[in-house]
Amino acid sequence: MELNSIEYQKEKLVAEMQIGRISEVQKNSFVIRYGGKELLAKLSGKFYQKESLFPVVGDYVNFHYNPQGESRIMGICERKNYLTRPDTAKSMKEQPMAANLDYAFLVMSLNDNFNLNRALRYAATVLQEGIQPVAVLTNADLCENVESLKMQFKQMLPQIKVHAVSALTGDGMDELNEYLKSGITIALLGSSGVGKSTLVNALAGTEVMKTGEIREKDAKGRHTTTYRNMIELPSGVIVIDTPGMREIGLCDVDEGLDDTFEDIAELAAKCRFRDCTHTNEPRCAVRQAIENGSLSQERFELYRSLHEESRKSADMKAIAKARKEINRARKR
C-alpha cells in the first residue's frame, strides 16, 4: 500500500504542470532551474507546429517534470520584457538575448573599448523594452582619467547612472549594492574582454565564471562566454551573462531612442508642426536650441542618424517577413 502511494505521488508529480526558469539554452535542449536543481528539458511538439517564440534565458516556463529523464516544456509564461537585437547577417531576424530583466548593466572597459556610440545603442535597445540601464565602467584601476570619461558618459546619457569600478581592487564595487537585491535579475551587455566574467566573479565573491585576458595592442578580448547563461549569486541576485557583442544594430527602437535622447524628444514636442523634420520649418524648437547653443549639432546629427538606421532596419525586417509569407504561400 505504501509503495503504491509513493508511485502515485510520482505519477502525480509528473502529470502536474510545474513552473521553472530557463537558465541555459543549448543547441537542441534547455536547462530549467527548478527547486534548486538544474533539469534538462526539450520543447513539446506544439512549438514546432506553428511559428512560435522559443524560450530564452530568463523565461519562466510551464513544464512536465520527468524525474527519470528529460522534462518537457509546454509553454512560456507571460514575459515582463524581452530583450532582442537584430541579426544583420540574417535579414534583420531578431536574435533573442534574455527575458524578464530588472536591470541591464552596460559594461565597458576604461581603455580603448570605451565607446559612447556603442553605449547609446545598448541604451536605446534596453530602454525600448522598459528595462533600466546602468553603466558599469570596468578596469578603473588601470585608467588615469576616470572622472573625465565618466563626465563624457554623463553628458551623452545624463539619465543613466554611471559607476566606475575595479573588480581587482574592489574600488567602486560597493556602489553596485543598490541593485543587488534578492530576486532581482540583471543582464550584462558588452563587448568581449570588457570584464563581464570578472565582474560576475567579484559580485559572487568566488570564481563562478572563466575569465580571459585582453590584447594590449587593441584592447580586444577572447570570447570566454559563448552562450547566454543564468547565474544565481549567494545574495539571491540572478545575473545573465551574454556573449560579447562588438556591434549592436538598431531595429524599430524609436521609443528607446527618444528615451535615450530625452532632451531632443522634449524639444521636438515643442515644435510648431507635429511632423517637423527639424531642417528649415518655422518655430522649430530643435533648430532654435542648436542656434542658441543649448543643443550641439553633433548630438542632434547622432540622434537623427540612429533614428534613420532604426527605421530602415524595421523596413528591411518587414520586407523579409513579407517575402517569407509569400514563399510559404507558394508552397501550399
Name every residue whose Cβ is closer than 8 Å to that of residue 140 and which is 6 or more positions away in sequence.
Answer: 110, 146, 164, 165, 166, 171, 172
Homologous superfamily of domain range 2-76: Nucleic acid-binding proteins (2.40.50.140)
pLDDT per residue, tens digit, the chain (332 aa), is: 455 565 655 555 555 789 999 999 988 899 999 988 999 999 998 888 766 689 999 999 999 999 888 999 999 999 999 998 776 555 556 788 899 999 999 999 998 878 888 888 889 889 989 999 999 999 999 999 999 999 999 988 899 999 999 999 999 999 999 999 999 999 999 887 888 889 999 998 888 776 544 434 344 444 444 456 899 998 899 999 877 555 566 666 788 888 888 999 999 999 999 889 998 899 999 999 999 999 989 889 888 888 888 777 665 555 455 555 555 544 55
C-alpha 312, offset from chain centre: 22
Closest to 43 measured CA to CA, from 31, 33, 34, 35: 31
Q: Which fold has domain 254-331?
A: Ribonucleotide Reductase Protein R1; domain 1 (1.10.40)
Predicted TM-score of the model (pTM): 0.78
pLDDT on residue 318: 57
Domains 2-76 and 254-331 in one fold? no
Measuring CA to CA, which residue among 183, 215, 211 is closest to residue 196? 211
Give the per-residue pLDDT at 113: 79
| Nearest alpha carbon to residue 191 among 113, 254, 256, 266 | 113
The pLDDT value given to residue 60: 97
Residue (of 211, 237, 235) closest to 224 by Cα position = 211
Sorted by sequence, the CB contacts under 8 Å of residue 156 that are 6+ apart come out as 116, 119, 120, 299
The DSSP code for 53 is P
pLDDT at 209: 72
pLDDT reported for residue 216? 41
Provide the angle, in degrees to the nearest 10, between the axes of the packed helices 116-128 and 297-331.
50
What is the DSSP-derived secondary structure letter of residue 160? S
- Rg, the chain, Cα only: 23
pLDDT for the residue 224? 45
Q: Domain spans of the chain?
A: 2-76, 82-241, 254-331
Q: What's the CA angle centered on 160, arms 271 and 55, to 5 degrees? A: 100
Q: What are phi and psi of 329, to 5 degrees?
A: -65, -35
Query: How do the residues of the chain divide into helix, strand and coil, expressed in percent and rounded to 5?
Result: 35, 25, 40
Classified by CATH at the fold level, domain 82-241 comes out as: Rossmann fold (3.40.50)
